[in-house]
Each structure stands twice: as C-alpha cells, then as structure tokens.
Amino acid sequence: MNITVQKFGGTSVADTERIRNVARRVCESRSRGENVVVVISALGDTTDRLVKLAYEITPSPREREMDMLLATGEQVSVALLSMAIHELGYEAISFTGAQVGIVTDGAHTKAKILDVKVGRILDELEKGNIVIVAGFQGVTLDDQITTLGRGGSDTTAVALAAALGAEVCEIYTDVDGVYTADPRLVPEARKLSHLSYEEMLEMAATGAKVLQLRSVEFARNYGVVIHVRSSFSREEGTWISEGDERMEKAIISGVTHETEEAKVTVFNVPDRPGVAARLFQALAAENINVDMIIQNVSADQRTDISFTVGLQDLSKAAEISERVAEELGAAGTVVDEGIAKVSLVGAGMRTHPGVAADMFSALAESGINIEMISTSTIKISCVIRAEDALKAVRAIHAKFGLDKGVVMRA
Amino acid sequence: MNITVQKFGGTSVADTERIRNVARRVCESRSRGENVVVVISALGDTTDRLVKLAYEITPSPREREMDMLLATGEQVSVALLSMAIHELGYEAISFTGAQVGIVTDGAHTKAKILDVKVGRILDELEKGNIVIVAGFQGVTLDDQITTLGRGGSDTTAVALAAALGAEVCEIYTDVDGVYTADPRLVPEARKLSHLSYEEMLEMAATGAKVLQLRSVEFARNYGVVIHVRSSFSREEGTWISEGDERMEKAIISGVTHETEEAKVTVFNVPDRPGVAARLFQALAAENINVDMIIQNVSADQRTDISFTVGLQDLSKAAEISERVAEELGAAGTVVDEGIAKVSLVGAGMRTHPGVAADMFSALAESGINIEMISTSTIKISCVIRAEDALKAVRAIHAKFGLDKGVVMRA
C-alpha cells in the first residue's frame, strides 16, 4: 500500500478557514490515489490558552494533569479536519494518539514513543478513509495520556511513517523548506533542496526551528524520507534522506543560531577526578538537557566549568549547580542569559580543513568576541553575545558564499 | 469503603475561580473521611464554543466527529479541577470516560451506558486519591469516543454511584433543590426535602430541569440515593430515594412546565388498524422521542392524530409526518410551536380522586383553554397556549396550596 504521511503544524490550522485549506491539500493527495495519514497539531494558540488556564489555577501544575489538559488541543483539531474533509466529499476518520496506539513511556510532558500500533490505521485506510491522527500525544501501557513535548507532532508523523512504511513523511509548515540561514535574518539565504539526516540533525540541534530534533533522529533511525514544504504553496521544499552519490554535496549546508539558551558557570572548582561527573549527573537526574560544556585548563588545582542549557530549564539548572558547587567547595555560580549560539553545519566539513578557521575569522572581522567553542565532525558552534547574533549569522553566511550557492562545493 | 459521588455542572465550573470553589467543596468532604469521586461537566460555554467551530466547518458534522470534538470539553475540566485540588494540598487524579471504562453503545451524541468498570477508580481511591471523572462521555467496546447527550453528566454520576455502591450521589447545581414549581416563575414555591424516584421521574419528564430524566431512571433501577443541592451553599437540598413509611407523604409534589415542545397534527387520517403504528414507527426509526399522543374520536372513518415532540426534533418529525400522511392519504400536517405543557405530579394522586378535576378547574378559572390532556397514575399534563404557561403554573400551584405546604397531605 502506498502511504503518505502528512503533518500540518499549528499555524497551518490556526482557524477554520486554514483547516479547510489543509483539507483541500489532503484531498488533492487522496485524489491522486495516495493513502493519506494526516497528523495535526492544536489550533493556533490553543495550547497557550490551555497553559494559561492551568496557571490561573496553580503555579505548579503536575505534569500528568498538564498532559490531560494539553492533549485536548489536538483532539479538537482532528475532529474539525475530519469534518472539513467530509464536507469536500471525501471519507475520513479522526483518532487520538491513544486510540491509534502511539505507546510512550511515562515521562509526562516529554514522553518518548516506544511503539506504534498500525492495525487500526491500516484497517481504516483499507476502507478508503483518510486517517487523521492527533499529533504530540500518546498513551502509556497503563493507559495514562502523555504528550511528547515541544514539536512532538513532527515526531508523531515520522514515527507513524516509519511504522506504516510510508513512502514519504511530508512536513507542511509556514516556510517552504530548510534554508542556508533563517531568511528573516538573512534575506540572501537560499532554500536547500536536499539534506542528509546528519546535516539536518545538526541544523535542528543548533537552532533551525523547522523540524524538531527528535523527529529527525527518528527518521534517521528508521530511514524515513522527509519532505519539508509549505502548506501555502505547491512548490517542492527540502528533502531529507540518507543521501547518495547522486546528491549534490555541499561542504556547508547552512548557518544556524539559537538565542533561547543561557550559560551557567561554576567558578573555582577543585580540579580532581569526578567533579564534572558529579555536576552533570545531578543535572541529568532532573532531566535537564545540557548543550555545550566547556572546562578551562586548570590553574592551581582549580578550574571553571561552563555549560549552556535551554532557558526553560535555566532556573532548575542554576539551583542544582549552586547546590553542587557548595558541596564541591567551588567559589560560586554565575548565570548569563545574554548569550547566543551561532553554528555552521555541513557534511563536507570533515574532509575540508580550514572551515573552522574561516568561521572564526568571519567573526573576528566583524569584531565579535567568541566566548565558547564546540565542534563535531560536521558542525562548529560558537557562543557569542546575544546582541551580536544577527551580525554573526550574516557574516558567516557571506564568508562561505552561501547566498551564491556555487562556491565551496565538493 | 464509604464512597460519595459528587457531580458539578457547567455553571459550577464556569471559570477558574469557580473551579477553585468546587475544589474546596470536594476537599471538605475528603477531610471528613469520605472517599470522593467527582464528575464534572465542561467549563461554562465550552460546549457551545466547540459546536460553533464545527458549524463554521460544515452545516452537517458527523456525529462521531462531534463526539471526538465535544469530549475534549470535560477533559479540560477534570485536569483543571485535579490541579486545583493539588493546590489545596489534597491528592487527586483525573480520568476521561474512556480511561475509567464508561462503556456505552455506539449511538454517537446520545450514547447509552452499557457498563461501568470500577477497578481503576477503586485502585485510586485506595491510594487516597480523590478521583475526578469526565462526565457526559464514554467509549464503545471498539474504542470509539461517545457522548451521552444533554444532561449526560448526571447520568455519568449516577451510573458511577451505582457501580461503586456509593452511599449517595450528590448533584451540585445552581439551585438548592427541587421545588414545588420553578421559583423563577412562582416566588412562593417551596423546596421539597424528599421525593420518590417515581415523582422525580415525572417531574423531570414534564419539565423540571434540575435533573436529567435518564439519570433518575438509572438511579431508580439501581437504588442510588440522590441529593440535589447548591454548589454555592451548605444547606441540605432535596433527597431522592425509593421512599419509605417514615417519609412525609405529599399528595402533590409540584407543578412543572415545559415550553421546548411543539405539537404536530396529522389531519383527516383514514381510521383503520395500523395507521398510528405506521406513523410512530417511522418516527421511532429516526430516534425521535414523542411525548404526548392524542387521537380524536373517529368521525366518518377519518380521525386526527396529534403528538408533541421536543423542538430539537421538530423539523425531522414534521418531515416524516408529512411523508407518512401522504402515504396514508391523510389531508395534511400542521405544526404548532406556540404550545406549553403544564403538569401536576404527586404520588398521592393515585389514591385521591378529584385531583384532575381540581387542576382543570384551576385552569378554567384563569380562562385558560386546554388543548391536550395526558395522564399517568401520578401525573396530569395539559397542553395549553405558550403565553398562558406562567399564569397556569401559578394558578395550579395556588389551587393545591403548595406554597403553604400544609394542606392536602395524606
């Protein structure tokens, strides 16, 4: 059975008029003979509205109850989209995550998908139905409703595509693909026609908002071909797949930036084995994702340890760091929210020495100071002052000729 | 285990401030050592808002998808109430109808409860939790989400009370009990301290809005003691139970009225066997609840058949009646929306002749014409002009001395 999974985000279903637009897109695919499974998010600002209600009740809602609350958002969307498709004369049926069997672990508000049961979906596709599944949500084996966290609908779509053996997982969004940089910051940014999973992973991990990191990991692990495209145009977007020899190989895919992180530094820590482990185990125990970690060269048996975390985890991370700093006999902890991270991503980087040096000199030429550096085989990230982010992204984008799309190809 | 089921309606949870009020009521009961199961409706106008969204999409939403949509309303309420209870320092856990196992048939938008599984609720009560269940909704054996129709939360509460063997099912509402007449129409109306199931059934069936008819039937069938009371005061309300010798026996319980019905008359129908059956089978096939049925004495082998239906079913009922009238060779069909029904209910009626005559004379003395009459052993209903309803209720209430509460007791 040729199956297409289509995912539409919150802005694509912001109101009933846009829901009708999504219904038309879905029915076009159906009329071409595709068996369509649609994953959608909550309508526009629904999730924010529900979160606000919860905080009117209590400053610290329990996560299980937040999941009960937030899961309603997508349930509203799937019912309305199903109605809109019926109105166009096509057959459709809507399901919650629990109903189709998106089985997750019990980590409420950021659950991980453990299993996807496809029997019910396949039955409905065989009856000729377009199947609409609520994104962002699942159910534990003991029947607790869970949500997958920010961007979770992408993960739902990719997981369904993997389990169903879909030919493609189309991610419809309000931009028409993945760009060499955020086009709102860099008007010369170009749309990328293809990216490997690895490149997309680094782009997503370093600030490209178009796809959620976990969904790309899922796609890579199960070989799901993703097509990121606009819900408002018919143009091809960006394809993400394993990549093969025929694919044009760019050394550099793009420049990304992230401003939603902060830096925590623990000063003057005794430099002995196990110190870093103690700190980062304590953070991990609270489920805090640490991004970059830097430990300075030791002087006088003392050292400074810095790390970056997402702003949403900052207060918890700072609290834990202070506690651990005290236990370790460190001088203290300083939090810096005024940072940005700019990154350069490209699979060709690993065979082209000098890319890092070029990036650093682009920053230097713009008078931008680098505070932290972190590299992988296909990515270089620099932490700089937040106010320098725009200038930095533009400088690096220009330095590598990404607007021209012709230089530095392998 | 001593269990109390408490049900709070939409006006009791209209906003977050009222949800906090409900939480306080619930926690008071818990602090007295009661094991509390709470059933709540959707917040205030949520259901209306969701219905409006659906009709923005399509003039004829399918009932299955309406159920998917509307079931979200109660899910929001239970999550928020659970948070509000946590905020007061008590333990609580929320569930959808599907999660606790409110099993229904597949009649979407008006499903009937077939079974209630109590294992999960009992487990949570034993852990010390207040258990909060979404009213109005259930799930079919093949895992489709259903809703129970208007007033369905009352039915959820009574069904849970029955299945759990609860000592009492408290129905909290915006009035403080069941009255001898609608106090907004008759300021002298008195609150009734006790009613038998039979009396409450007739009161609900003839227009008393305080309890949904089906929930009272359920309570009678399973012997569930209901206590109707105000969510805004601590006063005792009205108890509804089987009734015993110790209970004060009033001949008359109260006067009710219903203005949400219309009369359909099929004129000049050939008077032969099977004619009425043909008409009412056709209506039943479309799931239309017919209330009163009157067939006039035959003249010239022709007769007129009149019946009343709820306004929500009127257009369908009229359409079917016209079709059947044509098939039967009747003269035609007339619809009359300008009617009201006033009823007198009382268990003592059956042993006290003359009650009907007194009621008719009360109407006559007020110059009100009676268009249809229907009686049961404990109820007399008259259809009159809608504009006479208020006058009629007051006249009958006064005639039977219901404001005094002393006359006509057995």
pLDDT confidence of residue B244: 59
This prediction's pTM: 0.83
Q: Cβ of A87 and B54 within 8 Å?
A: no
| Chain A residues near residue B143 by CB distance under 8 angstroms | 99
Residue B405: pLDDT band by 50, 70, 90 thresholds?
A: low
- Least Cα separation, residue B297 to chain A (angstroms): 48
Q: Give the closest residue to B150 by CA, choosing from B344, B313, B25.
A: B313
- Least Cα separation, residue B85 to chain A (angstroms): 9
Q: Cβ of B68 and A75 within 8 Å?
A: yes
Taken in order of first residue, the domains within chain B and their CATH numbers are: 3-174 (3.40.1160.10)
Nearest residue of chain B to residue A82 (CA atoms):
B65
Nearest residue of chain B to residue A140 (CA atoms):
B99
- Least Cα separation, residue B258 to chain A (angstroms): 34
Asked whether the predicted pLDDT for residue A408 surpasses 50, the reply is: no
Residue B406: pLDDT band by 50, 70, 90 thresholds?
A: very low
- In this prediction, residues A82-104 reach a mean pLDDT of 97
pLDDT confidence of residue A259: 92
Nearest residue of chain A to residue B59 (CA atoms):
A87
CA distance B289 to B55: 25
Of A109-123, A183-197, A275-289, the one with minimum mean pLDDT is A275-289
CA distance A214 to A201: 9
Q: Do B66 and B109 form a contact (C-beta atoms < 8 A)?
A: yes
Q: Cβ of A84 and B57 within 8 Å?
A: yes
Each residue's pLDDT tens digit, B35-59: 999 999 999 889 999 999 999 999 9
Q: Cβ of B99 and A143 within 8 Å?
A: yes
pLDDT confidence of residue A249: 61
Which of A120-129, A361-370, B211-220 has maximum average pLDDT?
A120-129
Q: What proportions of chain A, in percent to the nearest 5, are helix, strand and coil?
A: 40, 25, 35
Each residue's pLDDT tens digit, A223-253: 999 999 998 889 999 999 987 554 556 678 8
Top residue of A58, A100, A132, A137 to mutate, by most chain B CBs within 10 Å, is A58
CA distance A331 to A321: 12
| Chain B residues near residue A62 by CB distance under 8 angstroms | 82-83, 86
pLDDT confidence of residue B404: 77
Asked whether the predicted pLDDT for residue A334 surpasses 90, the reply is: yes
Q: Cβ of A58 and B86 within 8 Å?
A: yes
Mean pLDDT rounded to a whole number for chain B = 90
- Least Cα separation, residue A157 to chain B (angstroms): 20
pLDDT confidence of residue B295: 79
pLDDT confidence of residue A245: 52
Structure tokens belonging to residue B401: 């001395």
Nearest to B143 among A61, A83, A99 (CB): A99
Each residue's pLDDT tens digit, A147-160: 998 789 999 999 99
Of B279-288, B320-329, B346-355, B390-399, the one with minimum mean pLDDT is B346-355
Mean pLDDT rounded to a whole number for chain A = 90
pLDDT confidence of residue A246: 46
Percent of chain B having pLDDT more than 90? 66
| Chain A residues near residue B80 by CB distance under 8 angstroms | 53-54, 57, 65, 69
- Least Cα separation, residue A60 to chain B (angstroms): 8
- Least Cα separation, residue A89 to chain B (angstroms): 11
Asked whether the predicted pLDDT for residue B129 surpasses 80, the reply is: yes
Residue B374: pLDDT band by 50, 70, 90 thresholds?
A: confident
DSSP letters spanning A305-365 = EEEEEEGGGHHHHHHHHHHHHHHHT-SEEEEE--EEEEEEE-GGGGG-TTHHHHHHHHHHH
- In this prediction, residues A193-214 reach a mean pLDDT of 88
Q: Cβ of A96 and B145 within 8 Å?
A: yes
- Least Cα separation, residue A315 to chain B (angstroms): 21
- Residue A215 CB coordination number (10 Å): 27
Asked whether the predicted pLDDT for residue B326 surpasses 90, the reply is: yes
Each residue's pLDDT tens digit, A10-67: 888 999 999 999 999 999 999 999 999 999 999 988 999 999 999 999 999 999 999 9
pLDDT confidence of residue B249: 61
| Chain B residues near residue A83 by CB distance under 8 angstroms | 54, 57-58, 61-62, 65
Asked whether the predicted pLDDT for residue B246 surpasses 60, the reply is: no
pLDDT confidence of residue B189: 93
Cβ-based burial of A406 (10 A; exposed 0-12, middle 13-18, buried ≥19): exposed
| Chain B residues near residue A53 by CB distance under 8 angstroms | 16, 76, 80
CA distance A177 to B69: 32
Q: Which residues contact B105 (CB under 8 A, 6 or more apart)?
A: B111, B112, B114, B140, B146
Interface of chain B toward chain A, CB-CB under 8 angstroms: 16, 19-20, 50, 53-54, 56-58, 61-62, 64-66, 68-69, 71-72, 75-76, 78-80, 82-84, 86-87, 93-94, 96, 98-99, 143, 145
Q: Cβ of B99 and A71 within 8 Å?
A: no
Asked whether the predicted pLDDT for residue A90 surpasses 90, the reply is: yes
Q: Cβ of A57 and B84 within 8 Å?
A: yes
- In this prediction, residues B104-131 reach a mean pLDDT of 95
pLDDT confidence of residue B284: 85
| Chain B residues near residue A86 by CB distance under 8 angstroms | 58, 61-62, 65
